[in-house]
Each structure stands twice: as C-alpha cells, then as structure tokens.
Amino acid sequence: MLAKQGVAPKNTHWAIDQDGWCAGATQLPSPNYGVRPAASEISLIVLHNISLPAGQFGGGYIQDLFLNRLNCDLHPSFNDLRELKVSAHFLILRDGSLLQCVSTLARAWHAGVSAFEGRSGCNDFSIGIELEGSDEIAFEAQQYQTLAALCRALLQRFAIQHIVGHNEIAPGRKTDPGPCFDWQHLQTLLQD
C-alpha cells in the first residue's frame, strides 16, 4: 500500500537533504524567512499550535497566511493578521500530512520575542513546527506520528539539545502548543 505523501507510516525514516528540506514533506515555500546569523548552531525545536479561524481546521488559511496570500476579509478575526509576515519551517495538518515552508537551514519567523536559557531571539537557532490545532482540542494520533518522524530526522541531522513549547520561550505571551499537547506521548514515540 502506498502511503499518502507527507504522512508518516510507523517506523518512517526521513532524511533532511543538503539544502535543508525534509524528504517526507510537501514543499510549500514561503517568502517569509531570512539568513541565520553566522555560527548559530541549530539546537532547538519549538512546537506550536495554530488554527485559522481559531478552533477551526482545514480551509488552507494557515498555508495562505505563511504565503502572504490570506484574504483577511474572509473572517473578522483575520483582521489582526493584515501585514503580518510569519512562517514556520513545518506545518503538520490534522490528517498528519507534513508541509515544509522554509528550509531548515534558513531562519523562519515563528518564535517572535523569545528567549531560551538566557539566549534571546530563538528564531536564530531553532526549527519551528506548527501543529494544526488549538489549546482546547486534543491533537490527532497521526499528527504525533508525523511529528515523531520529523523530530527523528531533525535529531539525526542537527545537534538538537531540546524540544520545547512556544510557551516556554515566550512565557506570558504565548500558550501553545497548549495543555492538550501530550509531551509524554511524543517522548514515547521518539523512544520507539
């Protein structure tokens, strides 16, 4: 049986290619990125949740946001997103499909004002992964499967020291990936 592209079957081994793109991901290149500062080792994975509109899934609005093509007239809550330029390296949709918007070698714009272990500007040295979801709703099993396969690939390629939530690097400002994210489950999958 063929696996749907971008969805990780169990025991998937994805590679990150020399240009920083993950073999298992569907590429959806965003213009929102920059160069990482020289000598900034990639040492951190930051997990997020996002849904547009909040609490609603599907629709493709997250992808539109990351590609600067979101029609902000479509929903009242989108008003706040006008002129916003953001991105993440990866987006994992509810069905577990994996999209990559920025090369892992480049600096994506996901963390904002942030600090980890006294070091500010986490975008410089991190990889951002967005899970389609919200703080109030459990994530899907296939999202964890894809996330674990992706983390394994990233751990193999980069000297990752920590996997953290956005809330941990921007406390008081951010709450994602939120209380519904099952860190223990991710850890278990990574140990499989």
The footprint of Zn ion (CB under 5 A) covers 48, 166, 176
Q: What is the DSSP pairing of strand 115-116 with strand 119-120? A: antiparallel
Q: Does 53 sit behind a cis peptide bond, omega within 30 degrees of 0 on the bond before it? A: yes
Residue 14 or 99: which CB sits closer to Zn ion?
Answer: 99
Residue 6 or 178: which CB sits closer to Zn ion?
Answer: 178
Q: Of 130, 136, 140, 168, which is the active-site residue? A: 130
CA distance linking residue 31 with residue 42, whole number of Å: 20
Residue type, 35: V
Least Å from the CB of residue 170 to Zn ion: 8
130 is known as an active-site residue: yes
Residue 17 or 136: which CB sits closer to Zn ion?
Answer: 136
Asked if 107 contacts 41 with a C-beta cutoff of 8 angstroms, the reply is no
Least Å from the CB of residue 108 to Zn ion: 12
Q: Which residues contact 174 (CB under 8 A, 6 or more apart)?
A: 112, 166, 167
Asked if 92 contacts 17 with a C-beta cutoff of 8 angstroms, the reply is no
Tokens of 187: 């850890």
Residue 7 or 131: which CB sits closer to Zn ion?
Answer: 131
Q: Which residues contact 85 (CB under 8 A, 6 or more apart)?
A: 32, 68, 109
Least Å from the CB of residue 186 to Zn ion: 16
Three-class DSSP category at 188:
helix
Task: Report the catalytic residues.
Answer: 130
